[in-house]
Chains A and B, each alone.
Chain A
Amino acid sequence: MIVRVIVTPKPVVNDPQGVTVKQGLASLGFREVTDVRIGKYIEMNLDTSSEHEARQLVEAMCRQLLANHVIEDFQFDIDPEHKRR
């Protein structure tokens, strides 16, 4: 099954990349953009048939490696029907 993890800087953490991209968008005329935060997208293929097990595994992976809890939050979704191309 396919797992998609999104890691984002915590709201209290300064994100200079996001600020710069927001300024870039504003200079292109997209003045509706009030905030930009830049994170990471991680896609994995998991060799398990249990969605429950997959959830526990990914949670552990995020806590131990994929995200740094000091500065980042994470979220993920699991697609049991599909495999990574």
Chain B
Amino acid sequence: MKFGVVVFPGTWSDRDCGWVVDQVLGADLTYLWHKDADLKGVDCVILPGGFAYGDYLRTGAIARFAPVMEQIGEFADRGGLVWGICNGFQVLCEAGLLPGALIRNASLEFRCEWTNLVVERTDLPFTSKCAEREVLRVPIAHGEGSYFADPATLSRLEQRGQVVFRYCDPSGRVVPGANPNGSLHNIAGIINARGNVLGMMPHPERCSEAELGGTDGLKLFRSVAEGGLKVLVS
């Protein structure tokens, strides 16, 4: 299993993701520069957190025009695994690879704190190591992570079970008080209809070692590393 971590000018979580892949997981790692015109044979592309191209105009608005994004779009069309974390989620929405958009937190604050996420899908290559409705403790760090979609899109996401993670309390109840940013339906992460493109605001790469206060994030990396190969790239 080979992971490719995308680096845009302004990306800041690339080395954190790379560290988990390379040092914690022991999987193959390569970095993909935003100007790269090929994906170097990777099996999973990670779009990490940060402020790609300064997030000028809107978060992710400029990043989606990077040469590497065209390759990532074709890779996703072929069934390749694409995983957007924080700014990566924003980029995937701007690129149209995931529905909806991320807007300014309802509090107007940049929120940097631990959150609880209930896992609503465990049949995905990203979550196969999680238990049914398991609660993961994963930190967030964003100013614009409030998930928005129009009512029709939102009900389609719910009907098709495309909501993967929801902010919840420590016991797994999805309550307004557990929502750190005003996301509709407490949405923290969604998957595309095909099940190979995941976007999430919380940072699993920041809780993949006990030294960092938690290892729940590693379950997602392990899921991809050990189960991802079963997903056939046609």
B157 at the interface (CB under 8 A from A): no
B212 at the interface (CB under 8 A from A): no
Given contacts A68-B94, A70-B100, A70-B148, contact A16 B106 (CB under 8 A): yes
Question: Which single residue of chain B is at the shortest CB-CB distance from A42?
Answer: B57
Contact B182 A16 (CB under 8 A): yes
Question: Which single residue of chain A is at the shortest CB-CB distance from B64?
Answer: A65
B58 at the interface (CB under 8 A from A): yes
Given contacts A70-B100, A70-B101, contact A20 B108 (CB under 8 A): yes
Label chain B's interface by main secondary structure: loop
Min CB distance, A68 to chain B, in Å? Answer: 6
Contact B148 A13 (CB under 8 A): yes
A66–B57 Cα distance when bound, in Å, is 7
Question: Which single residue of chain B is at the shortest CB-CB distance from A66?
Answer: B57
B61 at the interface (CB under 8 A from A): yes
A39–B103 Cα distance when bound, in Å, is 13
Min CB distance, A6 to chain B, in Å? Answer: 14
B residues at A contact (CB < 8 Å): 57-58, 61, 93-94, 99-101, 103-108, 146, 148-150, 182
What would 16 more interface pairs be, CB under 8 Å, given A17-B104, A40-B57? A9-B103, A12-B150, A13-B103, A14-B106, A14-B182, A16-B105, A16-B108, A16-B182, A20-B108, A65-B57, A68-B58, A68-B101, A70-B100, A70-B150, A71-B103, A71-B148
Task: Name the 3 nearest CB pairs between A and B, nearest first.
Answer: A70-B101, A71-B101, A16-B108
